[in-house]
Every structure is written in structure tokens, then in C-alpha cells.
Amino acid sequence: MVTAEEKLMGKTVNINTATAEELTQVPMITLELAQAIVTYREDVGAFQLIEELILVEGFDQKLFLRVQPFFLIECVSGECNG
């Protein structure tokens, strides 16, 4: 049987534009964690580096390493420029 992780291999989610629902398509990202990512993005602004996910409440190094391949960063309206 194919796991959720295997189904998503090669697919990525933009953490600067994805909705909470879209973020939950990533293995191990619960709705609560997805909402925390969106809230962090709204409060702090666009993610500059994928490693900033560690700063989101509920993330730790182990989880980050597991989900990192499924996330990408694309800037929105120049927000990543500084």
C-alpha cells in the first residue's frame, strides 16, 4: 500500500501562499499545525527561509526534517525582498 508521504513525493506546497487546508495535504501536518503556520505568516510576514518553520509553534527539528521536502518558498508581491 502507498503511504501519504509516497503519494506526495515530488509535489510541494508554497508555505507563503498555501491555505491551512492545503498545508494539511503534507504528511504529519495537522489542521492545528497548518493554522499555526498561516498565523505565523500573517503575524510575521512571508517566510524568507524554509528553516523559519522551526519558529512556528508546534514544530521541532525532527518534524521539520520530515516535512521539509514537501515545502517550497515563493515570494508574494516582493515580500521576500526584505
Q: Is the pLDDT of residue 21 over 90?
A: yes
The predicted model scores a pTM of: 0.80
Percent of the chain residues topping a pLDDT of 90: 73
Is 2 a residue whose pLDDT tops 50?
no
Which residues lie below 8 Å from residue 41, measured CB to CB, with a gap of 6+? 15, 16, 47
Q: Which amino acid is at 13?
A: V
* CATH number, domain 4-74, options 1.10.150, 3.40.50, 1.10.3720, 3.30.200: 1.10.150
pLDDT in tens, 40-74: 999 999 999 999 999 999 999 999 999 999 999 98
Q: Is 35 exposed, middle or buried (0-12, 13-18, 19+ CB in 10 A)?
A: middle
Residue partners of 6: CB distance under 8 A and separation at least 6: none
Yes or no: say if 80 and 46 are a contact pair by the CB < 8 Å rule: yes
